[in-house]
Amino acid sequence: MSIPTYPRPVKEWRIGPRTLLLGRRTLLMGIVNLTPDSFSDGGQFPTTQAAIDHALRLLDEGAEILDLGAESTRPGATLDLGAEDEQQRLAPVLEGILRARPDCVLSVDTFRASTARFAVERGALIVNDVSGFTWDPAMAQTLATLSCSAVLMHTRGLPSEWKSQKRLGPTEVMPAVMDGLASILSRANEAKIAPERIVLDPGFGFGKRGEENLTLLSHFSELHALGQPLLAGLSRKGFLAPHLAPQERLPETISANTVAILAGAHILRVHDVAAARQAADLADSLLSQGVAF
C-alpha cells in the first residue's frame, strides 16, 4: 500500500510583532511542565531554576518555541487549581527564561482567559488553549484584544469525563474533529481573531480514546481542508504504547511524529526535542523530495 506524503502548505503565522514561516521546516514546540501531576513529567522540575534550566536546554536542543504549562490537563484532571495559583507557578519561570533568552518565542498552555492575558502581558507570544474556547467563555474575546497568536485545540468534554465518554466509531472520528475545529474557527472569526494568528491542533488524546487517535493520525492530512497551519501533539501519549510508561515511549513518539510530518504537520509539540529534531529533519528532507511510501 502506498501512503502519499502531503505537500505541506507554507503559511505565515503572525505572533505579535513577529512572523514565523511555517511549512518550509517542521518547527518544534518544547514542553515545559510546571506541574506536580502532569502525565509524563509531573514534578520533575520542582524549582523555578530547574524549570528554567530545562527550558533553556530544550532551546539549545533545537526547539523554536517553548510551551509553558502550569496546570495539568491529563486524563482525569479536575482543573481546580485556580487562576492565581496557575499564574504564581508560571510567572517566575516565564520571566526567568526571557531574562536569559529575550528573543525566545514563548507559548502559555492555558484554558483560562485571565492567565492568557497575564502571560502575554509578561512576554508570551502564543496562547495554547487546549479547550478551543470551550472551558472559559471569555477566552475568544480576550485573545481578540491581545496581540498574541493562538493554538486552538479540538477537545471533547472535560478530562474527568474522558474515560467514561462514549467511544467514537472509525467513521465518526474525523467528522467530529473536523466539525469541532470548524466551530472553533467560526468563534474566532466572530471574535475578529485574524486567521493568520491561528494554528489548529486536532487534540490527540483529548476526548479521544485508544484507536480513535490512530484513526485521527491516519487521516491527519484531511485537516488541511480547514485552511490553517496544523500542530500535532503526540509526544509520549498513552495510545502509542499503553503497556509502557510515558518516558519509555520515545520510539513510538518518533514514529507517530514522522507520520504527522509526512501528512503535513507544521509544528510538533514534544518532550524530547533533540530526538524529535533529528527525525523531523529527515522527514522534512523526504517531503522536499516528494517521496511517497
Give the catalytic positions in this structure: 237, 269
Rounded-to-integer distance, Cα 50 and Cα 10, Å: 36
DSSP-H helix ranges across 169-262: 173-190, 211-218, 250-262
Rounded-to-integer distance, Cα 16 and Cα 42, Å: 30
Closest CA to 16 of 158, 134, 143, 202: 143
Q: Is residue 250 within 8 Å of 41, Cβ to Cβ?
A: no
Strand segments (E) across 1-159: 11-15, 18-22, 27-33, 65-69, 105-109, 126-129, 149-153
